[in-house]
A and B are shown apart, each in its own frame.
Chain A
Amino acid sequence: MSKFEPRIVGLMCHHCSYAGADRAGQSKSPLPTGFLPVRVMCTGRIRPEHIMAALQQGADGVLVLGCHPKDCHYRTGNLRARAAVGLTSRLLEGLGLHPERVQLEWVSAAEGEKLARVVNAQARKLRRLGPFRPASG
């Protein structure tokens, strides 16, 4: 039986977390094969629909990775992402989604190691939870 490799859509900001992910790459830190990066300029760009679409189209989890508070290149985008992701995950949990599938973490451009750690931890969690296969409407 083939091992379940969770698909994680990673929404990352150009200035911090995406750079952190590049840094992890430069260090050749292995990342789960199911980690699928998406680059935005700022995590503040993220809407609930993006997270919902990812889950509806086959993602087993969504990771939003932004700059640490106070470091956002656009001042407040990351904290608004925190608000949007917080509200969205509460809504989706109310509809039956396991609360650990949608996560938000802060990763700076220098934190390649942290990025690898966070992504690998999320993959381990999702392997335990199993694939996201909702009842269809």
Chain B
Amino acid sequence: MARKKKPWLFLCRCGPNIAEAIDLDRVASAIGSTMEVASVETHDILCSPDGQQWLQRRLRRGGLHPVVVAGCSPREHLETFRGVCREAGRNPHLLAMANIREQCGWVTPDRTAATDKAIRLVRAAIRRATLLEPLEEQQVDCNPDVLIIGSGVAGLQAARLLAGAGRHVILVERSPSIGGRGPRLADLYPEMECASCVLEGLLDEVLHHPLVEVLTCAELTRLAGAHGQFSATIRRAPRGVDEAACFGCPQCIEACPVSAPSELEEGLATRRAIYLSYPGALPNVPVVDRSTCLHFRGDPCDACARACPFGAIDLDQTETFVTREVGAVLVATGAELADLASTWGPDLPGVYTTMALERMLNSSGPTAGKVLLPDGRRPASVALVHCAGAPDGTRMGACSVVCCMAMAKYAQQLAQKLPETTIHELLWERSTPGKGYLEFASASRAAAHGRLKPIRLEPTERVSVEQARISQGSGAGSRRRRTTPNLVLRFRSGGKGPARRPLRVEMVVLAPPLSPSASTDRLAHLIGVEVGQGGFVLEPGPKVAPYQSSVDGILVAGCATGPKDIRAASAEGAAAAGRALSSLVPGRKLELEPYRAAIDPEHCSGCKTCVVVCPFGAVRFDPELRVAQVEQRLCQGCGSCAARCPVGVATAPGFTDGQLLAEIAGLLG
């Protein structure tokens, strides 16, 4: 082993900043007399252009002497002096700094005490520097491609823009069809354009773009690495249908003997065990639901497979795993309507959520655009209940942003489609910010021509719904009444006077709050992004970086961070794409972390402790060799592996145990 060279020590006076606080001459002579340095020189302002030139000339003397600069904080100028080393043709990592300014001279009023402390700090830096090794600086191409999780409007917008700029996009969607909630809506406020028409172009462009790889029935199972070089493992659940072979005819669906309630039709219609999520869903390929399909419940049924003219049904399909390398990840997992069963009671006939009403209003929905009760009649009266989030119908305290506008829209649409129906609108507050939103809401109400009866509830009022007792009677009229769902809205005043009189209606529409989609929590946990209020993904800098999660390289957009409407989600998707385009530029090199760890395979015991502890998934266990290995591209230089290795075979260059212990000894000796 080469004999260690003694360091060259440079003391910086930092103008008067250090010189006044510390007797640098005494430091120089104290250190010089330890014989642990090859030279000691002092300069007035090392970081100045003159100072850097002066230093560079001295460093050009060559040799592998490590350099110690005693001056300001390494957080200020370590990079500066590294640059000087590079200019002088020396390895920039044979350099240590002693912070005798911020953490010595400036915090120690007594000059003698400050000088004593400075001597310790410098000696510690010298002991450490003596053990430094030259570290290789390596550059790699950063990966400009992006993984997008979630194919709602935000994800689609980002995919389109990224692919348009030539980036490869991997679009991972948990469900069998892309598009999120948007395409299932009827008309979009305030323009009142048909949702599928507005979104069709976007969906189509993304689905068929050559640079976009759409993976449906898919979810992320592992993410290793860091910004610029992630490695993602994605699990694809078996669809039961070969997407490449399927031509989208409905033969298999029609042949299926099973009937089940359709989730995406909000229970308003049924579907088969092999089904397309909703009319017009993309990709136009059905999916087999194993929980209802007879084939997976002990029955040898293969009606769909026999009916398919293209042999596209494959009931033996198994899950597959794929790995993709990307530079950034976009979390666009959206939100979903909260389940109201626990707060509003079991499903009562005639009580619908806003989404169910959207499906009814949708011309290709289960009722072909008509608003009907379960028995097929038009309701004579409808109650629209805002803020149906909490028990007893009080506001939860968290606004879901979209419902007030949606209710204004429904007021307009119901007034149009049901010219004889009374519409009661129950609300505590109205919230319609946005360009043209207030005008829209006012106009909608005016369009209802007096059949709209708003009920402004007091803050302490509570609402609940129940089925009315059906009155006894005889004759056809009473028979009809017995089959009519009759609902009663009951009010509780919360102590402020008598309760409002109950309101009897035939249909109730509840606006549930938006909560984070079911997969968000698991995903956030998996990839290490923080969630905040309500379980939505946190944006640490919502004003200046609304697209940024708590993890560098992982972006966020859309309802994943909180409820918002399509316009805002679309804008956020574009923002995230912009960020990815500016931070991952093809051809721009990524510096590999010079402090990347190394594991000695000769002495590794294979205990996997380092694999467990690496926050970036950068350590892999080789099952054949039974040792661990660091993936150099992914290592971020935190030193966790070196810290936790029980046998000390993982090294953290630049901060080895030997260097740290030498520094500690230098401080205390």
Inside 8 A of A76's CB, which chain B residues have their CB? 615, 640
Known contacts A18-B75, A41-B655: does B528 contact A75 (CB below 8 Å)? yes
B411 CB, nearest partner CB in chain A, Å: 44
Given contacts A30-B107, A38-B664, A45-B660, 15 further A-B contacts (CB under 8 A): A14-B75, A21-B103, A22-B73, A22-B102, A25-B101, A25-B103, A28-B107, A31-B103, A33-B114, A36-B668, A38-B124, A44-B638, A49-B661, A53-B664, A84-B643
Between A and B, 17 residue pairs with Cβ closer than 8 Å are A9-B667, A25-B101, A25-B102, A25-B103, A28-B106, A37-B99, A41-B637, A41-B655, A45-B655, A47-B644, A53-B664, A53-B665, A57-B664, A57-B665, A59-B668, A77-B638, A80-B644
Q: Does B160 contact A (CB under 8 A)?
A: no
Please provide the 5 A-B residue pairs with the shortest distance between their CB atoms, ordered closest to farther. Answer: A25-B102, A45-B639, A74-B638, A75-B615, A31-B107
Q: In this complex, which of B107, B110, B551, B661 has the most chain A Cβ atoms within 10 angstroms of its Cβ?
A: B107
A26 and B109 contact, CB distance less than 8 A:
no
Inside 8 A of B121's CB, which chain A residues have their CB? 36-37
A30 and B108 contact, CB distance less than 8 A:
yes
Q: Does A90 contact B (CB under 8 A)?
A: no
A46 and B643 contact, CB distance less than 8 A:
yes
A9 and B640 contact, CB distance less than 8 A:
no
Known contacts A9-B664, A19-B75, A57-B668: does B595 contact A41 (CB below 8 Å)? yes
- In the assembly, what is the distance between CA of A36 and CA of B118, in Å? 10
- In the assembly, what is the distance between CA of A19 and CA of B74, in Å? 10
A21 and B655 contact, CB distance less than 8 A:
no
Q: Does A70 contact B (CB under 8 A)?
A: yes
Q: Which secondary structure characterizes the binding site on chain A?
A: mixed
Inside 8 A of A73's CB, which chain B residues have their CB? 638
Inside 8 A of B75's CB, which chain A residues have their CB? 14, 18-19, 22
Q: Does B669 contact A (CB under 8 A)?
A: yes
- In the assembly, what is the distance between CA of A137 and CA of B114, in Å? 34
Q: Does A68 contact B (CB under 8 A)?
A: no
Q: Does B120 contact A (CB under 8 A)?
A: yes
Q: Does B372 contact A (CB under 8 A)?
A: no
Q: Does B657 contact A (CB under 8 A)?
A: yes
B661 and A40 contact, CB distance less than 8 A:
no
Q: Does A39 contact B (CB under 8 A)?
A: yes
In the complex, what residue of chain B is closest to A50 when comparing beta carbons? B660
Q: Does A54 contact B (CB under 8 A)?
A: yes
Inside 8 A of B595's CB, which chain A residues have their CB? 41
B106 and A25 contact, CB distance less than 8 A:
yes
A42 interface neighbour in B74, B638, B668, Cβ under 8 Å: B638
B382 CB, nearest partner CB in chain A, Å: 46
A58 and B637 contact, CB distance less than 8 A:
no
A9 interface neighbour in B117, B643, B655, B668, Cβ under 8 Å: B668
B106 and A26 contact, CB distance less than 8 A:
yes
- In the assembly, what is the distance between CA of A29 and CA of B107, in Å? 6
Q: Does B652 contact A (CB under 8 A)?
A: yes
A80 and B655 contact, CB distance less than 8 A:
no
Q: Does B113 contact A (CB under 8 A)?
A: yes
Q: Does B642 contact A (CB under 8 A)?
A: yes
Q: Does A64 contact B (CB under 8 A)?
A: no
A37 and B103 contact, CB distance less than 8 A:
yes
Inside 8 A of B669's CB, which chain A residues have their CB? 57-58
- In the assembly, what is the distance between CA of A78 and CA of B122, in Å? 27
B638 and A45 contact, CB distance less than 8 A:
yes
B84-109 contacts to A, CB under 8 A, are 99, 101-103, 106-109
- In the assembly, what is the distance between CA of A53 and CA of B76, in Å? 29
Q: Does A102 contact B (CB under 8 A)?
A: no
Q: Does B265 contact A (CB under 8 A)?
A: no
In the complex, what residue of chain A is closest to B117 when comparing beta carbons? A33
A55 CB, nearest partner CB in chain B, Å: 10
Q: Does A82 contact B (CB under 8 A)?
A: no
Inside 8 A of A9's CB, which chain B residues have their CB? 664, 667-668
Q: Does B116 contact A (CB under 8 A)?
A: yes
In the complex, what residue of chain A is closest to B97 when comparing beta carbons? A39
Known contacts A30-B108, A33-B117, A41-B638: does B668 contact A58 (CB below 8 Å)? yes
B412 CB, nearest partner CB in chain A, Å: 45
- In the assembly, what is the distance between CA of A49 and CA of B664, in Å? 11
In the complex, what residue of chain B is closest to A62 when comparing beta carbons? B664
B73 CB, nearest partner CB in chain A, Å: 5
In the complex, what residue of chain B is closest to A81 when comparing beta carbons? B643
B664 and A22 contact, CB distance less than 8 A:
no
Known contacts A22-B102, A58-B668: does B615 contact A38 (CB below 8 Å)? no
Q: Does A118 contact B (CB under 8 A)?
A: no
Q: Does B539 contact A (CB under 8 A)?
A: no
- In the assembly, what is the distance between CA of A21 and CA of B102, in Å? 8
Q: Does B530 contact A (CB under 8 A)?
A: yes
Q: Does A101 contact B (CB under 8 A)?
A: no
- In the assembly, what is the distance between CA of A14 and CA of B75, in Å? 8
B660 interface neighbour in A7, A25, A38, A57, Cβ under 8 Å: A38
A45 and B108 contact, CB distance less than 8 A:
no
Q: Does A24 contact B (CB under 8 A)?
A: yes
- In the assembly, what is the distance between CA of A54 and CA of B668, in Å? 8
Q: Does B307 contact A (CB under 8 A)?
A: no
